[in-house]
Structure 1
Amino acid sequence: MRKTRVLIASLVLLCGTALAVVSPDRWTTSDHADTTLAALAQAESPPHVPPVPLLWKVSDRNNAVYLLGSIHLLKEDDYPLSADVDAAFDDAARVVFEVSPEELGSPEASVRFRQAAKLPEGRTLSDLISPRLREKLHRLLARQGGSLDQVNRYSPWFVNLSLMLGLSHSLGFSPELGVDQHLMQRALEAGKPTAGLETIDDQLRALADSPIGEQIIGLEDFLDRPQEMPGELADLHQAWRAGDVPGLEAIALSEMMVRTPRTYQMVNVDRNRAWLPLLREMLDGRGRDNVLVVVGAMHLLGDDGLVALLEHAGYTVERICSACGPGDQAFPERPVLEDAAGPVSLPIGR
């Protein structure tokens, strides 16, 4: 199993605010990664079908919450999305994201992000990383016309993010094309109310307070294995496009739990638990309106994911996936019917 998956998973599937705020063209890739780009572009044929959605419907007696697993970096040819997603969007009276579009688009967002990314006064990145790693980072930045001094005041997680965004941009991925950004624009155009499960500060705190040692693991993985990064990102992208729950868990979730357990706890588990009461209020409250909730895909997967947490709380949980066969479902086999409103997944008895 390739170690770079920890970095890719934590930034692409978990932390949407970070990708939305950082400029994707600030950084570029290393020479080693560049040599793989042409071969990768030839190997990947343009997709001709919509991605299989990571979409669940959670219901009680009065209403439903749709949970959609987003990936925060996508390509133009990943659109249009599945008709299942369109149907859930149309059925929802409002759309809820990790952070509200209003806060994400505020002028203060970028400033707060940069403040959170900086190391405490008196500390530098050079002091935190080994001489070997410092030299690799220096050479990479020098090849791109930069210097270590430009990043020396920033935390390893921020440098990780910046390097990965440079690589993903070279491969045709963009934060502006992420599912959350796409649906924020659709909600605005449709006049649907929007909201957030947390604030920008909540999300940045989860990144900035993660252990420095675990942050350095991601930076070390990138600098030691730059040639593996394009393939890693392609693997993750294809697993998301296929709606492959076991595949995504194998690629990202399992290794992150083992190699960076505290970061996994902070950016995934703790945030899921903080969101759970908000989701339950959407279901248990007096309102009858359905809601679409869009979060990074990893927040829905595994025993710590929102899907499992809500199922364990006793709600009816159904995967909505007209393109899935019985073996592709994340839960025990359920018959899938079609009606005028789209696919309907029938829960089996518990």
Structure 2
Amino acid sequence: MQIKFSNALLKHISVLFSIALFAGNTYAKTTAETTAKGVLWEVKSATNTAYLFGSIHLAKASFYPLPEKVQKAYKQADTLAVELDGTDGEAAVKALPLLKYAAPDKLQNHLQPATWESLQKMTGPVAERFQPLKPAMVATGLLVGSFARQGYDPAQGVDIHFINRAKKDKKSIVELETMEYQAQILGGLSDEEGDAMLSQTLESISNGEAIRDTNQLIAAWKDGNAEKVVSMLQAEANKNPGSKKIMKRLLDERNPAMADKIVELMAAGKHVLVVVGAGHIAGTNSISDLLKQRGLQVRQIK
């Protein structure tokens, strides 16, 4: 069976590791744009209130400052909870082997000849530098480079924005996952899945779909339209069995553990702002849905 990945799913996959491995590079200048509303949720227990903010991992300086409702949610928090701390270089170094092949094995051995030829055609001699990396890492690098040319910058991502701010303000930072765990997900793709991911990444960059889909997704987030963000991801993922399988692994299977940690933080009396990828926030089996199932009151603040 041929595995297919939607463009929206490829975008979601690409951001999992783009922050830790590409932050610090210099990217294209941003164009003038309106600031972003984003998607913000209030979560209430009998004794505590937390806030859940959907993140865009690749953003632009023009997205800031974030709206006052988000600023208030941050200011009341003594704890920032994120998927992981993308500024932790030591964690990235430890996780990287999970995304590489052990020599003498190499990328080309795990790709269809046509996929390797497409990579060579797009990158030229640089393709040889990708040989130690697994397909997910190569696809990530290509996508981040493509988004960077449009002004999107991991260093401007919402996660990084709040992590840097929390460190400056001496707030506690809690990771809901680890970089190693996320590396295991991407590094654990089968050869068929990895080849399909890279092949379709190359195609989506070449035909411009990657940028068009990303711009539409980010526009929905900027408008605060959580429903549209979710519907776009779900519609794309449900187009074929391969995308649906990976989407379940990347979202549905990760959300319960993150929801449990949020409940634990609230029960411990922490005043928390949770910043996680926007695709985790709303819809069936999302973090907000799971928190409701755990007896908490959840509502979007518009």
TM-score by length of 1: 0.77
Q: How does 1:249-328 map to 2 (within 5 A)?
A: 249-257=230-238, 258=240, 259-285=242-268, 287=269, 289-321=270-302
Counterparts of 2:25 and 2:196 in 1: how far apart (Å)? 22
CA pair 47-118 structure 1, distance change in 2 beyond 3 A: same
Q: Cα distance, 1:107 vs. partner?
A: 4.1
| 1:32-71 deviations in Å (ceiling 9; x for gaps) | xxxxx9xxx9xxx7323x3122111111111012111101
User: Does residue 1:20 correspond to 2:19, yes or no?
Assistant: yes
CA pair 140-52 structure 1, distance change in 2 beyond 3 A: same
2:175 to 192, 196, 213: 196
Aligned residue type for 2:59 = L
Aligned residue type for 1:8 = K
User: Does residue 1:171 correspond to 2:155, yes or no?
Assistant: no
| 1:258-279 deviations in Å (ceiling 9; x for gaps) | 4323322322222211222211
Aligned to 1:150: 129
Identity of matched residues, %? 25
Counterparts of 2:245 and 2:235 in 1: how far apart (Å)? 13
Contact 1:70–1:179 (8 Å) recurs in 2: yes
Q: How does 1:17-56 map to 2 (within 5 A)?
A: 18-23=17-22, 46-48=32-34, 50-56=35-41
Farther-moved stretch of structure 1 (255-264 vs 84-93):
255-264
TM-score by length of 2: 0.88
Aligned residue type for 2:32 = P
User: Does residue 1:6 correspond to 2:9, yes or no?
Assistant: yes
Q: Cα distance, 1:27 vs. partner?
A: 12
Counterparts of 1:232 and 1:244 in 2: how far apart (Å)? 16
Q: Cα distance, 1:121 vs. partner?
A: 4.8
Aligned to 1:227: 207
Q: Cα distance, 1:202 vs. partner?
A: 1.4
Q: Which one has the largest radius of gyration? A: 1
Q: Structure 1: state its 5+ residue gaps.
A: 29-36, 322-350
Contact 1:21–1:113 (8 Å) recurs in 2: no
2:74 to 79, 89, 99: 89
Counterparts of 1:221 and 1:27 in 2: how far apart (Å)? 26
Aligned to 1:346: none
Q: Structure 2: state its 5+ residue gaps.
A: none
Aligned to 1:138: 120
CA pair 251-27 structure 1, distance change in 2 beyond 3 A: farther
User: Does residue 1:77 correspond to 2:62, yes or no?
Assistant: yes
Q: Cα distance, 1:122 vs. partner?
A: 5.1
